Structure 1
Amino acid sequence: MNERLKGKKILITGASSGIGQFLAIHAASEGAVPILTARSEDKLELMSETIESTFGTSCPWYKADLSNDAEWKDTIDRICYEQGSVDALINNAGVAVFDYVADSNWQDIDRMVSVNVTSLFRATHQLLPHLLQNGEGHIVNIASQAGKMATPKSAVYAATKHAVLGFTNALRMEVEPLGLHVTSVNLGPVRTNFFKQADPSGNYEKAVDKMMLDPNKVARIVISRLFTKQREINLPSWMNSGSKVYAVAPSAVEKIMHKQFKKK
């Protein structure tokens, strides 16, 4: 058990599967109290029961559709009322649909912006006064290497993650002097159900299969860095190195990596 996390209340969005599920498990295993939110009531209930019986800790859960701003706002208010202070927020929920902009439909675009950006802003904005009042806490935003290096068929998704990174970096400078930690987690492809919606054809998932990250390992690393000063967590490291090169010489990288960028 990690004394740094013992008894801490950690709100996790998108907690019913994938990285979110493992974040909850690792948080509970270290003595924290995971507060789960997602759309699937059945999965949340099962997750909560499993965590409580396995680790002997409370694990409250709240059904919420993060694409519905009014519903999400009410849910956060309810969490604050019922749970009291929240010590950490992990904005993990995210969706994608990979398509050329010209072929996209507005419903997909709107949902990506709503879940990936608006809901993250909403949760942070509502919980920030509580964290500042406590004088300590941690906000972790699950971003993406796509927020540093965009590729074809992910224009909107990459734009949402650029927004998350910009928001995270500015927020960090605002609140670190006041005792809060803010971290972005920039990931490459992760082996979750994310791609079933992002690319139903399965072609992209097959193309990047060998480089996919293990969600359990990702979650373990994120939880281990909670309540420590950590600007970014970048996985895999080689992909982050590529992003740094891209920032210096974008035209050259786009030319050299043309075929790889077209894998979606």
Structure 2
Amino acid sequence: MVKDQLKDKNIVITGASGGIGAEIAKLCAASGANLVLLARSLDKLQQLQAALLQKHQIKVDVFQLDVSDTEKIEQVFKEIFSVVGHVDILVNNAGFGVFREAHEVKIDEIKGMFEVNVIGLMACTSMVLPKMRERRLGHIINIASQAGKIATPKSSVYSATKHAVLGYTNALRMELSDFNVQVTSVNPGPIATNFFNIADEKGTYVKNVQKFILQPEYVAGKVVASMLTNTREINLPRWMNMGSIVYVLFPRLFERIGKKAFNKK
């Protein structure tokens, strides 16, 4: 996919060392965008950087960043602005989950999920907002989840973080509506990435939902297609989003009927 309007735009992607973050980076590079790639694994970022620079005449800067470290976020974004001047698009992709029943989740895991999935996302966003508002141009894309719409057993904390992301995203969209800054939430179902190496230690969930798992290239394509457009939400797959609508209208019935399917984790 080549998107002409991304040419020479500055795009920052968190969690860019693999999965949909890396796939988004590849598609943006093919469209002529300049990239700033952030992740904990500097080695993987540098490998991706080298591959992109070999294929495309663009700028690619990489910074090691754990988004749970808010002080480091401020430091890194100061460096980003000194290098690229401004950010046109921020893709908040970094995140992780742990699938366990609520009483089994460790406090450190709870803190970790909120620090990365919620606070880190908010902190990165707060770094780019002032200049986007000033320039009256920009796009914030938050990778949330269908788990942010439908809470399920064994993902209580993860679902809570994604509910928070959706709440933040929806409020942010209204705040920025008069500044020509677009805000999009991306709500995918399960994706074939390393996410499940941590989230699904036993492999049970992946095995049970194998036929529904999305490919990262497909999700990335939908995200890139939405860039610099007035896209409120991206729900993948579309049929799964119907479940969230039914859930809002008939929560008791939905939970009773869906209980068996939800417990496949």
Q: What pairs with 1:21-170 in structure 2 (closer than 5 Å)?
A: 21-170=22-171
Q: What is the alpha-carbon distance in structure 2 between the residues aligned to residue 250 and residue 55 of structure 1?
A: 49
Name the residue aligned to 1:5. Answer: 6
Q: Which amino acid letter does the alignment assign opposite residue 238 of structure 1?
A: W
Deviation at 1:22, TM superposition (A): 0.2
Deviation at 1:149, TM superposition (A): 0.3
Q: Work out whether residues 166 and 185 of structure 2, in 8 Å CA contact, stay in contact via their aligned partners in 1.
A: yes
Q: Work out whether residues 32 and 57 of structure 2, in 8 Å CA contact, stay in contact via their aligned partners in 1.
A: no
Unaligned runs of 5+ in 1: none
Q: Which amino acid letter does the alignment assign opposite residue 57 of structure 1?
A: I
Q: What is the alpha-carbon distance in structure 2 between the residues aligned to residue 73 and residue 195 of structure 1?
A: 29
Q: What is the alpha-carbon distance in structure 2 between the residues aligned to residue 125 and residue 104 of structure 1?
A: 29
Deviation at 1:142, TM superposition (A): 0.3
1:178 alignment partner, SS class: coil
Name the residue aligned to 1:185. Answer: 186
Name the residue aligned to 1:260. Answer: 261
Q: Deviations over 1:220-261 (max 9, x none)?
A: 111011000000000000100011100111110111111101
Q: What is the alpha-carbon distance in structure 2 between the residues aligned to residue 243 and residue 104 of structure 1?
A: 25
Between 1:36-45 and 1:64-73, the stretch displaced more is 64-73
Length-normalised TM-score, structure 2? 0.98
Q: Work out whether residues 36 and 62 of structure 2, in 8 Å CA contact, stay in contact via their aligned partners in 1.
A: yes
1:50 alignment partner, SS class: helix
Name the residue aligned to 2:237. Answer: 236
Q: Work out whether residues 97 and 113 of structure 2, in 8 Å CA contact, stay in contact via their aligned partners in 1.
A: yes
Number of residues of Structure 1 aligned to a counterpart in Structure 2: 264
Q: Work out whether residues 39 and 63 of structure 2, in 8 Å CA contact, stay in contact via their aligned partners in 1.
A: yes
Name the residue aligned to 1:172. Answer: 173
Length-normalised TM-score, structure 1? 0.98
Q: Which amino acid letter does the alignment assign opposite residue 121 of structure 1?
A: M
Name the residue aligned to 2:200. Answer: 199
Q: Which runs of 4+ in 1 moved over 3 A?
A: none
Name the residue aligned to 2:223. Answer: 222
1:141 alignment partner, SS class: strand
Q: What is the alpha-carbon distance in structure 1 between the residues aligned to residue 13 and residue 127 of structure 2?
A: 15
Deviation at 1:117, TM superposition (A): 0.2
Q: What is the alpha-carbon distance in structure 1 between the residues aligned to residue 3 and residue 243 of structure 2?
A: 34
Q: What is the alpha-carbon distance in structure 1 between the residues aligned to residue 76 and residue 109 of structure 2?
A: 23
Q: Which amino acid letter does the alignment assign opposite residue 115 of structure 1?
A: V
Q: Deviations over 1:166-206 (max 9, x none)?
A: 01111101102211100000010000010000011111111
Name the residue aligned to 2:252. Answer: 251
Q: What is the alpha-carbon distance in structure 2 between the residues aligned to residue 73 and residue 160 of structure 1?
A: 22
Between 1:184-193 and 1:70-79, the stretch displaced more is 70-79
Q: What is the alpha-carbon distance in structure 1 between the residues aligned to residue 166 and residue 214 of structure 2?
A: 20
Deviation at 1:82, TM superposition (A): 2.0
Deviation at 1:102, TM superposition (A): 0.7
1:162 alignment partner, SS class: helix
Deviation at 1:64, TM superposition (A): 0.8
